[in-house]
Amino acid sequence: MDKIYYSIREVADQLKVPQSTLRFWEKEIDLLEPAKSKGGTRRYVQKDIDLLHQIKFLIEEQHLTLAGVNERLTNHREEDEKRMKIIQKLQSVRKELLAIRLELNAHEAFEKEFIIEGDKE
């Protein structure tokens, strides 16, 4: 069962960004408002993490500024969510195809070596 709340460390590790980046995004991105405990500790829920994935995607893959991210999230969030999911799926398929290609190349190299060694005998 998934956790309900995640710490900033857990979320930063999952997104592979520094914790300071998450704090900065929180100040700059209007829709990003993780809950805080009475002591001020950030408590991220899955909805926050999904939004952070989308923010990271818009910054890194779409090369948007933080102002651009705010605009996209305000006016085109659903469209961008769909686009992000499609791109992630295509990247996953590409990664799998590359792994298959490597396996085939290794198999072909083995066969060539085996045939060459077999001819020498």
The domains of the chain are located at 1-75, 79-121
pLDDT tens for each residue of the chain, 121 residues long: 578 899 999 999 999 999 999 999 999 998 899 999 899 899 999 999 989 998 998 899 889 999 999 988 888 777 777 777 787 788 889 999 999 998 888 878 777 777 666 555 5
pTM: 0.66
Q: What is the CATH number of domain 1-75?
A: 1.10.1660.10
Q: Which residues are CB-neighbours of 35 under 8 A, at least 6 positions away?
A: 5, 42, 43, 44, 45
Residue type, position 37, single letter: S
Alpha helices in the chain (DSSP H): 8-15, 19-28, 46-60, 66-75, 77-120
Tell me how far apart the alpha carbons of residues 31 and 12 are, in angstroms, rounded to a whole number: 18
